[in-house]
């Protein structure tokens, strides 16, 4: 396996771990962290491919994504906090008001 393959395998592993976490874990904060893992797995593959193509734009785009992701998590955490305030728990099972 050359370097690129290792990096791509790592990115797939990060994505898979993140996905698994989102589906299995019940703690909302952990789920948010898993989502970040998935995002960074994709980021890694993006930067890897950019390196392979020898283009600088991919690397620049990754920094852009970091900024947006930071903003996104800055919104998501307060949402979680507000939810916790309501039900005094981080357990997702407590939040099923969309049940038909």
Partner 1 sequence: MAPLLTLIVVLPLAGFLLNGLFATRFGGNRVGNGFVTAVACGAPIAAFLATIACLLRLQAGGYAPLTETAYTWALIGGKSFEIAFYFDRLTAVMTLIVTGVGSLIHVYSTGYMKGDKSYARYFAYLNLFLFFMLMLVLGRSLLVLFVGWEGVGLASYLLIGFWFEDPAKAAAGKKAFIVNRIGDAGFLLGMFLLYQTLGTLDMDRINAAFNAATLPAVSASLVGILLFIGATGKSAQIPLYVWLPDAMAGPTPVSALIHAATMVTAGVYLVARMSGIYSHAPEASAVIAVVGVATAFFAATIALVQTDIKKVLAYSTVSQLGLMFVALGVGAYGVAVFHVYTHAFFKACLFLGAGSVIHALSGEQDILKMGGLAKKIPITFATFALATAAIAGIPPLAGFFSKDEILWFAFASSHGGSTLLWLVASITSLMTSFYMFRLLWLTFFGASRMSHEVEHHVHESPLSMTGVLAVLAVLSAIGGFFALPHFLEPMLPLPEVVPALHHYETTLIVIAVALGFAGLAAAAFLYGNGARRADALRQRFPFAHALLTGKYFVDEVYDLLINRPLLWVSDRVLLRFSDRVLLDGTLNGLAAWAQRTAGTLSRVQTGNLQLYAFLALAGIVVALVWTWAHV
**In terms of CB distance, is 3 or 99 closer to partner 1?**
99
**In terms of CB distance, is 1 or 23 closer to partner 1?**
23
**In terms of CB distance, is 42 or 92 closer to partner 1?**
92
Judge whether 81 and 29 are in contact, CB under 8 Å: no
User: In the range 59-98, which residues lie near partner 1 by CB under 8 A?
Assistant: 92-93, 95-98
Q: Contact positions toward partner 1, by CB under 8 A?
A: 19, 22-24, 26, 92-93, 95-100
């Amino acid at each position: 396996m050359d370097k690129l393959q290792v990096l791509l395998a790592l990115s797939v592993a990060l994505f898979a771990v993140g996905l698994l976490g989102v589906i299995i874990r019940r703690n909302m904060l952990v789920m948010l962290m898993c989502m970040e893992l998935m995002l960074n797995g994709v980021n890694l593959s993006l930067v890897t491919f950019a390196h392979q193509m020898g283009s600088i734009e991919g690397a620049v785009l990754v920094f852009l994504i970091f900024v947006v992701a930071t903003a996104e998590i800055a919104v998501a955490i307060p949402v979680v906090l507000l939810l916790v305030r309501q039900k005094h728990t981080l357990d997702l099972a407590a939040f099923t008001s969309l049940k038909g």
